[in-house]
Amino acid sequence: MHPAFSVVFFTTATGAGYGLLALLGVLGGLGFIPADFWLGLIGMGLALGLIAAGLLSSAGHLGRPERAWRAFSQWRSSWLSREGVASVATFIPAGLFGLGWVFFGRTGWVTVAGLLAAIGAVVTVCTTGMIYASLKPIAQWHSRYTLPGYLIFSVMTGSVLLNSLLQAFAIGSNPVVAAALLLTLLGWGWKLATWRYNDRLEIATTANTATGLAGGTVRSLEWPHTEENYLLKEMGFRIARKHAAKLRGITQALAFALPALFLLAVLFALPWPLVAVLSVLAAIVQFAGILVERWLFFAEAKHTVTLYYGR
């Protein structure tokens, strides 16, 4: 599949934003994080800013962005439409929680709004994951690894962002650092398992099964047309194996290994300015690594429509 940057950034930014929003909604709403004005303002601003930036960037992949609103009407059958509805609905409790947490502190209705915002964030990430997991023609996505992967990466990037915020305000805690580290290691293991599954994947659909001609080997006598078309550009994108291996190494280094090392160093009770710098670096490096991972997620996927073109 063609890895359009608008969609790559969309899945990365919204995943991190919803992960951070869910953690702020639960931990802030229940009082595990103090109701500080600047912490709440910057934290909620970062979470909602990432979500909004991701949603706006996704419109760049549409042929007619001005018609994007029509997608909301297909929520009965389309995961894309359900994602749009869930994302907009989540802004309501998230906005209420942000206002209440920043200006009024932790009260009963603020706690409820925070928990509702967290539920909305989880539901929205699930709908995003299901957009890809429900596509049967793309075997690399239509697997048991896709949806949990979206959830794991969301809470992973969200927890690393949360730790960077807390450390920047000198109120970091070892449980948050340890959770971010464990989630980063979990994400690393899940990504390795996903790659192993995809590399061993045997796609059952062939030119023979697609045409129903069981005897012999079906092959094209000549190409359907002489030039690249939309389907080949979007569905038939291919990446060289050596480039894929190199990008996988970059993904592991940036998204998992370096952030894990930075977070491990933070656990050793270093002086405040240093732990804040390391925590912020972990968040920035991991975000860059997930951008590479998302690019590979699209680039390595194979659509069965390419069988028509002899691939």
pLDDT digits (tens, 9 = 90+) for 157-210: 999 999 999 999 988 888 999 999 999 999 999 999 999 999 888 776 776 776
Lowest mean pLDDT among 49-53, 253-257, 305-309: 305-309
Give residue-wise pLDDT tens across range 24-69.
Answer: 999 998 888 888 889 989 999 999 999 999 988 877 666 666 666 6
pTM score: 0.90
Residue range 5-62+71-309, CATH number = 1.20.1630
One-character DSSP codes across 8-69: HHHHHHHHHHHHHHHHIIIIIHTTSS---HHHHHHHHHHHHHHHHHHHHHHGGG-SSGGGGG
What is the rounded average pLDDT of the residues 246-274?
92
Q: In the chain, where are the structural domains located?
A: 5-62+71-309
Instruction: Using the predicted structure, report yes or no on whether residue 100 has a pLDDT greater than 70.
Output: yes
3-state secondary structure of 138: strand
Banded model confidence at residue 231, pLDDT cuts 50, 70, 90: low
